[in-house]
Structure 1
Amino acid sequence: MNPLTEYRSAGFTLIEILVSLTIVSIAVLALGGFGVSSLSSGQVSRERLTAVHLAEQVLEHWQHDANDRAPLIATGTCALTDATSAPSYPVTTTCKPSTGVGIAFTIAVNETQATGPLSSNLSAYQTLTQPTGYLNSPMTRLVTVSWSNKGVSRSIYLTHIAEPRI
């Protein structure tokens, strides 16, 4: 028996080691890319969640305002306060929330009469008539929250149909 043959069959050749290292490095790079995309996707989700939360806060504050006015939004912290006078819609404010993601959001608030298609069942609005007897159209409130991060602009829109003003 040749001692060189026994030695060769007991170990790996240099080519086998290089091929296995190439395969392992490709797998590690693929997993690393997947990890980076997962982190990026998580950041976008946190941004969108913060934007939706801001829009919901604005609509909630607006619904509970005794004078039926959109709230004032502080430019520094996005804090909401009651409006002292009727705003001229649309109102746009840029602010950076003190908690959550560290980016600035632009919040646009608008109110108009609902002119688009409404629900086919308007019986809920039949009781909301003016003293003259004709049906006033409901108001549409729109809150748009926009932001940009890493060169990509995103927006969310929340609408609310409110009772018509009498």
Structure 2
Amino acid sequence: MNKVNNSFFSRAFLESLFFVQNKWHQHGVLIHTLRVTYYILKTRNFKFFAAGLLHDIGKPFVAYKKDEEDIKFGEYSFTDHEEKSYNIIKNWFFISDYTKLIVRYHYLIRDLQKSKKEDLPRYRKKKKIWDSLNPKIKKDLAKFIKFDDLGKGKKRR
């Protein structure tokens, strides 16, 4: 897991929250989150509402410049942001276990696709998690990632 833990007032935290994420996101985390929630509400998929609001809550805390491309374009990487998001909300009694599960694994499908090509040990770890999930959750994660994609807006490059 990424060991970055940005403070509320760090440059990486504030920039990623309000202005820029990376080439896959048109907006910072805040606007992205509001867009995801908008599409959830627009399609009346209310069971995803809380997850839409909370799925990237950990992103600004783990934002970092991973490589030369991030530095060149002034963008951030967010390795294991979903685990950070989950760790923030896991003890919140007013959030359902279902929502916590969606938040924790909302990027798992993409992570499997990406790590299968780039990082086989990570892929095996993520595949083990995927195989442990029930079919209903897998289906809901596939649906949720579509809302997450809609929230990204147009790709910037």
Give the TM-score taking structure 1 as reference length: 0.25
| Larger fraction in helix | 2
| Larger fraction in strand | 1
Q: Larger relative contact order (C-alpha < 8 A, sep ≥ 6)?
A: 2
Give the TM-score taking structure 2 as reference length: 0.26
Task: Flag the structure with larger Rg.
Answer: 1
